[in-house]
Chains A and B, each alone.
Chain A
Amino acid sequence: MKAYFLFALKRLLQLFAVCFAGISAAFFISHLSPISPVDSIIGRVSGRSTYSPEAIRALRATMTELFGLDVPLWQQYLNFWGRFVTGDLGPSLLAFPTPALRLVMIALPWTFGLLTATIIINWLIGNILGGLAGYYQNNRFLKAFGIVAIGLQPIPHYIVAFLMVILFGFLWPILPISGGFAMNVRVAWTPEFVLSVLHYALLPALSLVLVGIGTWFLGMRALVSNIVTEDYVTYAELAGVKRPTILFAYVIRNAMIPQLTSLAMTLGLIFSGTIIIEQVFSYPGLGTLLVRAVNEGDTTVVLAVSSIAIIAVATAIFIIDLLHPIFDPRVRVE
């Protein structure tokens, strides 16, 4: 137990270090952006009426000071961390003075919901079907599924999503292709709202499942088809243990562990895929917010979204790491 505690502590320290380094990197990269939010705002303001050069200089000075951009970069960096530890990610520059965190919080549930739901579907169904396919290697349905999976999973997210829009929005228009819920539904915890959210999430989720499920299926199938040749499986079969018991208790359980590690490692990539899906379906989430913020030079929002994403991914990896020794007694702390 003490060993596990030490292991957890070490991992926790690592989590903080990764978050700190990752967010710092995001800070400096986002401040590389040549699009100054001050210019962005002056552009909008002075694009609609005439400003004398002096008036522009005055407005620039006001805005720069207001946004705290009038100090050197290292001081902005210190200020950023000073605020960050108190949970303040600073004001959004393009929705001034709305806190950037507030915009993130509006978007977060959408991405979180879509992502969690599809990851669970992909991981569970992909692994179970993959396990079955590895165990019952002559099943025709599972064989066919394997071929489809090989064909689907390398297609970029964008193309799958785009084909979904054309297919179910245009050629056979039966599903909504943009937004998070219907316009005539009020945002509240009512069955109508929940159903509408599910209805609007169908196509984005379907796209993510189509691209994502094959990876787990193929990985699990390969793992299981190796495990079934192991001696202990053969003994169990000879001993008359029921096949489903063998499959789930002996085979899939063992194969789940590397698949769990895999999940942790690919979370960041899955998040990138979701950003694209959100773009195609105009789905209200972190991805849409992020791309818009990048486009308009809103550094605080870019930084807020990246920070939240880094913390979320790193924490997820941390939790999976913690669970690891529990699932797999073979994993011992070095």
Chain B
Amino acid sequence: MFSVFRDLLRYNVEFLIGVVLVGFITIFACLSFFAPMEPAMVYVVPPDQPPSWQFWFGTNSRGQDMFWQLTDAFWNSLTFGLTVAVISRIISIVIGMMAGYLGGIFDRVFMFFADIFVAIPIFPILILFYFVLRSDLNSFNLALVMACFGWPYDARLIRTVALGLRHREFTRQAVFAGMSPVKIMFEEHLPYVMPIIFSTAMANMIWSIGLEVTLAVLGFTNITIPTVGTTLFWANNHSALIVGIWWWILIPVVLLVMMFIGLFLLAVSMNEYIDPRSRLRRMGA
């Protein structure tokens, strides 16, 4: 895995740009631990100040220092995206590998469920969950719900790879050697599936963070937790663009796009590395 990483850095400029962009945003998000004030607090600095030496990203109409507020927002959004990615990876690996390796009835049942999840429009369902959970819909619960919807495409991809591995020589040898299916799957096959898991994880983060932004902007999340989405929610709530507080919208959007492009480039370059023909299925969804 490490050598793959080194090669990619050396030979793939897209991967390099991706690492730089995502790294930059991650460092920015980590700065939230050094914030001089509680970032969710309102009316702590003079409102509506444009970017300056004192306030690098300006201040918003709620009297928050945008720089520190955004470090926290990006921290929360990143952790959120990562949580969804990790949980949905676990689901998709288990389901994808079992469907691919065991085949038969398992395969059909799992893929049947995957097809249902593909056909159900997720957005209204997330809104319903908001109504059911309300203030209990914190970042983690939302991440859980979204992870339950974020696996089917990737499980299908993993299944395809696992399907191919099943007929490979080394699998047969392992079976003859008496290895248990679980062992074969997770010791022999998993390393081959790793790159695809990495690349789908990046795409999955773009998807989940983007959806969180959309839900938050419409007011369907816990709006007191600073995230990129709730930042935009509050900006709209104060008519920021109309009245010319442009930095309240522009800066988070630029940072968000930087992060998305970074994640996207990582996913694409990794994808090309594993299988030049693989399709960029989930990008930008």
Contacts and interface: CB of A to CB of B under 8 A. Distances in A.
A294 B127 contact: yes
A49 B256 CA distance: 49
Interface string B225-247: 00000001000000001100000
A195 interface: no
A60 B193 CA distance: 56
Contacts of A223: 277, 279
A18 B116 contact: yes
A150 B120 contact: no
B116 A21 contact: yes
A32 interface: yes
A151 B257 contact: yes
A270 to B, nearest CB: 8
A29 B125 contact: yes
B218 interface: yes
B145 to A, nearest CB: 11
A265 B112 CA distance: 13
B143 interface: no
Interface string A291-321: 1001000000010011001100110010000
Interface residues of A, number: 60
A218 interface: yes
A interface: dominant SS: helix
A18 B277 contact: no
Nearest to A258: B279
B40 to A, nearest CB: 22
Contact of A153 (B211, B276, B284): B284
Contacts of A259: 279
B268 to A, nearest CB: 7
Given A18-B115, A151-B257, A268 B279 contact: no
A183 interface: no
Interface in A148-207: 150-151, 153-159, 166, 170
A210 B48 CA distance: 31
A215 B283 contact: yes
Interface stretch (B80-88, B183-191, B258-266): B258-266
B143 to A, nearest CB: 17
9 contacts: A14-B115, A25-B120, A33-B128, A156-B256, A158-B218, A215-B280, A266-B282, A268-B122, A310-B119
B121 A154 contact: no
Contact of B264 (A150, A222, A258): A150
Interface residues of B, number: 48
A155 B112 contact: no
B272 interface: yes
Pick from B116, B120, B121, B206 the residue with the most CB of A within 10 Å.
B121
B180 to A, nearest CB: 27
Given A215-B283, A268-B122, A154 B242 contact: no
Nearest to B156: A265
Contacts of B43: none
A124 interface: no
A211 B257 CA distance: 12
A155 B250 CA distance: 13
A82 B132 CA distance: 27
B213 A159 contact: yes
A25 B116 contact: yes
A294 B281 contact: no
B280 to A, nearest CB: 4
A158 B217 contact: yes
B281 A266 contact: yes
B121 A18 contact: no
Nearest to B209: A156
B279 A151 contact: no
The 10 closest A-B pairs by CB, nearest first: A154-B260, A153-B284, A272-B123, A269-B285, A156-B210, A219-B280, A226-B276, A314-B119, A215-B284, A313-B119
Contact of B112 (A17, A271, A302, A310): A17
Contacts of A34: 131-132
A309 B281 CA distance: 21
